[in-house]
Structure 1
Amino acid sequence: MTIMAIGFPGRKLFALAAALPLLGGATMAATGYFAGYFDTQAMHYRPALGQPRQDLVAIYFSGDMGLRLGAGCRTVAALRRQGLAVMAVDSPALFRLTRDRAFVDALVADTIRAALARSHAAKVALIGAAFGAGILDTGLGAVPADLRSRIASVVLVQPGTAVYFQANPGGLIHPGAPDSDPYRTVRLLNGLPVTCIAKSSQNQGLCAAGQLAGASHVELDALRPRGPAYKVDIASIAANAALFPPGPMH
């Protein structure tokens, strides 16, 4: 087993490289299905494309499929095209093994601190998708006041109703009982500009919860004028939500 130290100002977090799952792991890894799950590099700093914005940096917490598949790479690209440097967090590289609340709290705070230090930006836009939304929402409530004051926007993309501190790519490995209750932790986001992106208002997910009633809401199904087969550009929607935030949530 190989241990790679991931440095942040003030402390180190550790990503442990795990063996391939026995059930179909070799085949699925070869096809790239578990692409992000077997990455060993957890943090990817990407410079802005075109004319960079000096005032704002973005942080993107991926879903449990990582940054190579799904909307992850597209969202990072959309943010960069808008002139933002991006600190992209490959969630499965950090959460192969079950972590604890202290790890999550430190991860969110230290990633904000690192992104601000590297970019020299004044403010940070935070985006979390699916698994990454749960990690972001959980850790954000514990961010110290000096960092909280520098948060320009928070975007939760299809957050779940239960939060696990272990990646679960493709839903093949059930991590057990939830590690955190997002209905409790999202209350700590009051006072921040929050956007919640969900499939629809009929979906009884976290975005529909009363605790997020004061957030801005985007319903993906409402943006499908050509029917359910029409593909919505979630990456651009998330990037625009980060760049043009609502007022503080109350």
Structure 2
Amino acid sequence: MSFLSHPVKVAAAFFTSPLSKGFAVVALALGLVGCAAPAVEHGDVGEDLAGTEAAVTARETALSGATAKLFATPPSTLPWQPFVLPGKRYVVFEPVAVLARPSLRVKADNSVSILRRRFEPTVLAPGRLAFSWKVDALPLAADLAAADAADSPVRIVLGFEGDRSRWTPKMHRLSEMSRLLTGEELPYATLIYVWGNKEAPGTVVVNPRTDRIRKLVLDSGTSQLGLWRDHVRDVQADFRQAFGEEPGPLRVVALMTDTDNTRSALTAWYGALTLENAAPAR
């Protein structure tokens, strides 16, 4: 399957409907549902995506090679793939070297860029997660707790399975809408590591539209701009801190840089990422 998929008219129609203003667009924006990315209109993608078919193929090949070298995760039948949102400008992840340090770069500009890997089979007990990121600026006036300003220059997104009988009726309705559009339900819970503008490191921010998405702030403010930030996290401990319960199997991991709500421009870099499985695969 190509990184950039063919049009899906029903999904595009959904994203222009009033319902898309709610949590469903947030969940899909995180790239946590569906195997194929819904299509975007020509004017919605960044200039980075323009070019001949040969150029697009070359970029896809370069990105595939870079993810194979940079990212070490439990095995999956699915590769790392970009996820493009209807109505949102997408800027590609570019393989680069920063002072001989291999990384993926995103030149964000009023855009949403997602690169994800779905796990088939799921990761039964995610353990140690190590990753690095760097940014040169923060989204203007971003606020992780505000629905209309919740941009972050870098995110690591983890989507988990769980007991959906504990969901509210609203969550069940949204998950059913997702299933109809994509063939897959929403994750039971989503934990996101973020760089915030003002929130103190260690803060857990509950998504304003649903408490099944929670953000854990690792870096904050401008004092570390331009510097690589290396993090090693205990995924299960962080999930317990954020949600107050034990995590289920891990379904997806994603990188996400978004500046669309604040219409900001910045450059973000993602370095090597390693995710360990503390239990055998199914």
TM-score over 0.5 (shorter chain): no
Q: What TM-score do the two structures reach when normalised by structure 1?
A: 0.32
Return the TM-score normalized by structure 2: 0.29
Higher relative contact order (CA 8 A, sep 6+): 2
Which structure shows the bigger proportion of residues in helix conformation? 1
Judging by fraction of residues, say which structure has more strand. Answer: 2
